[in-house]
Structures are given as structure tokens and as C-alpha cells.
């Protein structure tokens, strides 16, 4: 899918100024890119981090996706640690993160009523009440502040307001990237490149194979002046009346998960992860304009309904929509291995696992494009089938991918070799040294079985 094309014109050839000459360039400062940049820098590489917007965080801040989940296997085993844990600790110290203490992670109605509206329930479990698990509600500005601190402390060169536009490829290597800025086009030379754009912009430009996927898009928003205690009391004391009203609310917004509002660390401010809008292409400017109008129309209709009908929402006001459109899936790499739905569902363990999320494992090969020696991807556009990506794209696992990619590029620089020739055991060992779980030791519920030959 693409925008309507009316004609073509030829642009002029030009001399592009080189503004950075570095070991590693990371494109995209979302959860995956930030983690990749920090991890590579801490492993001794000179890193330049490129971001199109002024803020860091991608969907986690600009996209206002405000719960970290998919962090736990089988109820209690926290599998996304390393930089993820560091982020959570730092945000918590700034009153920007809320999560249940271990003793509250139980399966009973008392804990469910205490934690469900924070989003700290196991959404994958059928039956009520769902177990309370380690998930983290956070504040988007805390995310931005922590990101900037980590970048500064690691000595990373940060280039915001720089929109990646083109990969320069010579002999199976990306030797540099071109970004668009207000000053015109600028070039960055690098020995290793990490594509963390979420939409596979770099790998696609470099000629790597990819599939085009799609999922619902969402104009996420927040409401303020909500009496959350009153809303929760109504929900738990009048379950039937609540269900009827909540069904109507979800009809008005036109598509939402079971819980369309969740609490945030800011009192009286709730996060609305809706509406669900299918059929939009997250790469198309024309589609994004339509989605912007459609999302804003629906969110104002919901606000009106909530103010008139929902106890606790009588005085609610629109705090605002997210700065970035909520894009879940666009291009997906077709790399050295393509993770399948079966792999994710059956919890297949891979000997070359370098990171994990919830109960699934990500092989190193799923971060590597075919045929390009010095490019690695991290984040929601990794090498995975569309249906499998929908189950394996949450923020913490994307950060774990980034952390592993950062280690991998540092190892490749040290060994002066192609990324596919890096010793995977050395990546796994270093991930453990950084406090992360590379998934090299399968949990008891993992599937350990070779993949049948095609
Ligand atoms: C509406 C919605 C709800 C979600 N709910 C949850 C949830 O509850 N919990 C959860 O854990 N996950 C959730 N997710 C999934 C999660 O937010 C994403 O999968 C995750 O943020 C992906 O991280 P990423 O770093 O790969 O990509 P992104 O977060 O998309 O970051 C990509 C970064 O690259 C930058 N970039 C892109 N293109 C360029 C370019 N050409 N030049 C320069 N910079 C560029 C972007 O600005 C951005 O900063 C949700 C996603 C959406 C959309």
C-alpha cells in the first residue's frame, strides 16, 4: 500500500556534508534503539544515536504507551531485566513508575481490585480473577528524562530532529546513512548500523528482504480530573451496571481492549489505549492524516459519553492525545531466521537465543538481515511473521533485543568481523554480565525440540 502517485521527477545529485564519523550509528531512539545505543556505548563503542523527533522514547513516550508488560514467565519469573530494570528503577526514583510488590503478585479478588486498573494483570490467562504479575505503569515524561540521562552518562552523540532517509551501501555493507534535517541532508559514517526505527526504514533502504504487515493503529490519549477511586468503587460494587455501561463506552470508542482506561502515576490522570482502528497503513502519510481525524473524533465522543454516564468521569477533561500515532506493525524483516507464530505460542527455545520476553525466546538470527554484513535490527520490526509479531512486540522485549544488538555490534567491532560471525555464546555471556537474561538457559516450560526440515 502506498500514497497516490501523480508523477515522478528527478532530484539533483549533491554533496552531502558528513556530520559524524562513528563506530555505531543507531537509527531510532525508541525502547529498542535507546537500549542498543546504551549497551553498545557501555561495551566501548563510539555511538551516534539518531532520532527524528525532539524527544526520546518512541511509542513508550511520544506514543504514550504507558504499561510495561510481557516481562514475566509463568507468573513470577522476571525475564526482561538488564536495561529494562534500570529504566524501571530510575523512573520509580522520580515517582514515575508504579508496580505491585512481590507479595501482591497473587491470584485473588482482593489483589485484582487493587492492581487491575494499573494494568498489572496477566492478560494471557483465561478465567477470573487473572493473576497479578510484575508489570509497570509509568509516566511518559519520566521515560524521556531517564532516556536523556542514560544517553548523556554513556557519552553517546545524540542527533535529534534528524530523519533517516537513505542507507549508503557498498559491497554488502552499509557504510553510512543520510538524514534529513532543517539544515538540509546530512551524512553519518559508521562501521556498524542498528536499525531501531520500528518500521525497518534502514534495512528496507539497504535492500534487505522484508514482509509488509499491518495491525490496528491507535490515537492513544489521556483524560484528567477523573475520580478513579469513585470509578473503581462503582465497578466493584455494581458489577452488572458497570458492565452494561462499559460495553456502551467501548461501542462509542469503536474498539478497545477489555480495559479501555488504566491509572497512571499522576493522580486523576487515566491512560486510554484506544480506539482500535484497522485498515490503516502506518507508513502512508495519507492514511495517517485520516487516522488522526478518525481517532480524535472517536476520543471526543467517548469523553462526552463518559462525562454523562460513568461514575467518576463527571468532571473528566481531555489532557491530550499522544504526540505519535500508535503504530504497532508495518514492515517486518525477513532475516536469517523468521520467528513463527508456532515458535512464540509453543515457547520454542533456540540455542542462539540472545533475549526473551514473557515465555518466548528470540534467536540472534532473527535480528540479522540476509546479505548485509554490518546491519542489525532491534525492535518491533524484527524478523518475525505478522501474527507472531502481534504476540511478541511489547516494550520490554524490544528493549532486550536492543540490549543484545548493542552487545553484538561491540563484539563485531572488537573482532573486526561480520555480525553473523559474532560468537553467540559471547553475546549471551555479556548479556548475563549486564544483568540481562539472554534466554540461553530455557525455563521449565520451554519447548526444546529441533525445527523439522522443510
Ligand atoms: C497503541 C499501542 C499500544 C501498545 N500497548 C503496549 C503495552 O501496553 N505494553 C507494552 O509493553 N507494549 C505495548 N505496545 C507495543 C510497544 O509500544 C512497541 O512495540 C514498542 O514501543 C516498539 O519499540 P521500538 O523501539 O521497536 O519502536 P518504536 O517505539 O516505534 O520506536 C521507534 C523510534 O524510531 C524513531 N524513528 C522512526 N523512523 C525514523 C526515521 N526515519 N529517522 C529517525 N528516527 C526514526 C521513532 O521516532 C521512534 O523514536 C503498544 C503499541 C501501540 C502502538
Do the strands 18-27 and 136-138 form a parallel or antiparallel pair, or are they unpaired?
unpaired
pLDDT at residue number 47: 98
pLDDT at residue number 453: 61
Distance 52 CA to ligand 1 centre (A): 13
Please write the tens of the pLDDT for every residue from 293-336. 999 999 999 999 999 999 999 999 999 999 999 999 999 999 99
- Nearest-atom index, ligand 1, CA of 201: 41
pLDDT at residue number 2: 72
In 3D, which of 268, 330, 274 has the Cα closest to residue 64? 274
pLDDT at residue number 200: 98
Q: Name the grid cell of 8.
A: 515522478
Atom 39 (ligand 1): residue with closest C-alpha? Answer: 197
Please write the tens of the pLDDT for every residue from 192-207. 999 999 999 999 999 9
Distances (CA, A) of 143 to 78, 79, 99, 103, 242: 21, 21, 15, 26, 33
Nearest-Å Rg of the Cα atoms of the chain is: 22
CA distance 72 to 75: 6
Whether the pLDDT of residue 61 is over 90: the answer is yes
**Is residue 32 in contact with ligand 1, taking CB distance under 6 Å?**
yes
How high is the mean pLDDT of the chain?
97
Least trusted range by pLDDT, from 9-13, 31-35, 46-50, 341-345: 9-13
Whether the pLDDT of residue 454 is over 90: the answer is no
Distance 60 CA to ligand 1 centre (A): 6
Distance 59 CA to ligand 1 centre (A): 4
- For every residue of 169-202, DSSP letters joined together read EETTEEEEEEEEETTEEEEEEEEEEEE-SSS-HH
CA distance 222 to 398: 24
Q: What pTM, to 2 d.p., does this model score? A: 0.97
Distance 57 CA to ligand 1 centre (A): 8
Q: What is the rounded average pLDDT of the residues 256-284?
A: 96
Whether the pLDDT of residue 248 is over 80: the answer is yes
pLDDT at residue number 449: 80
pLDDT higher for 4 or 263? 263
- Which of 53, 194, 198, 322 maximizes ligand 1 atoms within 8 Å of its Cβ, making it the mutation to test the pocket? 198
CA distance 50 to 38: 13
Distance of CA 192 to the CA centre of its chain: 22
Backbone angles phi, psi at 451, to 5 degrees: -75, 130
Atom 34 (ligand 1): residue with closest C-alpha? Answer: 28
CA distance 14 to 31: 34
pLDDT at residue number 190: 98
**Is residue 69 in contact with ligand 1, taking CB distance under 6 Å?**
yes
Please write the tens of the pLDDT for every residue from 117-126. 999 999 989 8
Beta bridge partners, 406, equal: none
pLDDT > 90 in the chain, percent? 94
pLDDT > 70 in the chain, percent? 99
- Residue-wise over 343-366: b if at least 16 C-beta within 10 A, else e? bbeebbbbebbbbbbbbbbbbbbb
Whether residue 275 is preceded by a cis peptide bond, meaning omega within 30 degrees of 0, is: yes
pLDDT at residue number 451: 72
**Is residue 274 in contact with ligand 1, taking CB distance under 6 Å?**
no
Please write the tens of the pLDDT for every residue from 226-246. 999 999 999 999 999 999 999
Please write the tens of the pLDDT for every residue from 176-185. 999 999 999 9
**Is residue 438 in contact with ligand 1, taking CB distance under 6 Å?**
no
Q: What is the rounded average pLDDT of the residues 20-24?
A: 98
Contact (Cβ atoms closer than 8 angstroms) between residue 308 and residue 356: no
Whether the pLDDT of residue 7 is over 60: the answer is yes
**Is residue 195 in contact with ligand 1, taking CB distance under 6 Å?**
no
pLDDT at residue number 395: 98
pLDDT higher for 165 or 453? 165
Whether the pLDDT of residue 406 is over 60: the answer is yes
Do the strands 18-27 and 184-195 form a parallel or antiparallel pair, or are they unpaired?
parallel
Distance 25 CA to ligand 1 centre (A): 19
Please write the tens of the pLDDT for every residue from 91-106. 999 999 999 999 999 9
Amino acid at each position: 500500500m502506498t500514497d497516490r502517485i501523480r508523477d515522478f521527477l528527478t532530484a539533483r545529485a549533491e554533496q552531502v556534508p558528513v556530520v559524524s564519523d562513528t563506530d555505531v550509528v543507531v537509527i531510532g531512539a525508541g525502547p529498542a534503539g535507546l537500549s542498543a545505543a546504551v549497551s553498545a556505548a557501555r561495551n566501548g563503542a563510539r555511538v551516534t544515536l539518531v532520532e527524528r523527533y525532539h524527544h526520546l522514547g518512541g511509542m513508550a513516550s511520544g506514543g504514550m504507551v504507558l504499561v510495561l508488560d510481557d516481562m514475566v514467565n509463568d507468573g513470577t519469573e522476571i525475564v526482561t531485566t538488564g536495561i529494562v530494570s534500570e529504566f524501571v528503577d530510575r523512573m520509580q526514583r522520580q515517582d514515575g513508575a508504579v508496580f505491585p510488590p512481590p507479595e501482591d503478585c497473587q491470584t485473588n479478588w482482593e489483589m485484582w481490585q487493587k492492581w487491575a486498573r494499573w494494568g498489572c494483570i496477566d492478560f494471557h490467562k483465561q478465567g477470573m480473577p487473572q493473576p497479578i504479575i510484575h508489570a509497570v505503569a509509568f509516566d511518559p515524561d519520566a521515560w524521556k528524562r531517564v532516556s536523556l540521562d542514560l544517553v548523556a552518562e554513556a557519552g553517546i552523540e545524540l542527533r535529534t530532529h534528524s530523519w533517516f532517509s537513505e542507507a549508503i551501501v557498498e559491497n554488502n555493507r552499509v557504510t553510512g546513512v543520510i538524514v534529513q534535517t532543517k539544515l538540509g541532508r546530512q551524512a553519518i559514517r559508521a562501521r556498524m548500523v542498528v536499525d531501531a526505527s520500528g518500521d525497518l526504514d534502514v534495512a528496507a533502504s539497504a535492500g534487505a528482504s522484508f514482509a509488509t504487515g499491518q495491525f490496528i493503529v491507535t490515537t492513544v490519549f489521556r483524560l484528567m480530573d477523573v475520580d478513579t477511586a469513585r470509578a473503581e468503587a462503582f465497578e466493584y460494587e455494581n458489577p452488572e451496571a458497570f458492565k452494561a455501561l462499559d460495553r456502551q463506552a467501548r461501542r462509542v470508542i469503536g474498539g478497545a481492549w477489555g480495559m479501555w482506561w488504566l491509572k497512571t502515576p499522576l493522580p486523576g490522570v487515566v491512560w486510554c489505549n484506544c480506539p482500535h482502528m484497522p485498515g490503516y497503513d502506518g507508513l502512508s502519510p495519507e492514511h495517517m492524516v485520516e487516522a488522526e481525524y478518525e481517532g480524535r473524533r472517536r476520543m471526543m465522543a467517548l469523553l462526552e459519553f463518559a462525562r454523562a454516564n460513568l461514575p467518576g468521569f463527571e468532571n473528566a477533561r481531555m489532557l491530550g492525545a499522544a504526540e505519535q500515532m500508535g503504530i504497532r506493525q508495518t514492515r517486518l524483516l525477513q532475516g536469517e531466521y523468521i520467528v513463527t507464530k508456532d515458535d512464540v505460542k509453543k515457547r520454542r527455545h533456540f540455542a542462539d537465543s540472545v533475549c526473551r520476553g514473557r515465555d518466548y525466546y528470540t534467536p540472534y538470527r532473527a535480528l540479522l538481515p540476509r546479505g548485509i554484513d554490518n546491519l542489525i535490527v532491534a525492535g518491533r520490526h524484527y524478523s518475525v511473521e505478522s501474527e507472531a509479531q502481534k504476540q511478541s512486540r511489547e516494550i520490554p522485549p524490544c528493549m532486550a533485543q536492543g540490549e543484545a544488538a548493542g552487545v553484538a555490534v561491540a563484539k563485531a567491532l572488537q573482532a573486526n568481523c561480520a555480525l553473523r560471525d559474532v560468537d553467540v555464546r559471547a553475546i549471551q555471556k555479556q548479556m548475563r554480565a549486564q544483568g540481562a537474561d539472554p534466554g540461553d538457559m530455557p525455563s521449565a516450560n520451554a519447548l526444546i525440540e529441533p525445527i523439522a526440515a522443510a
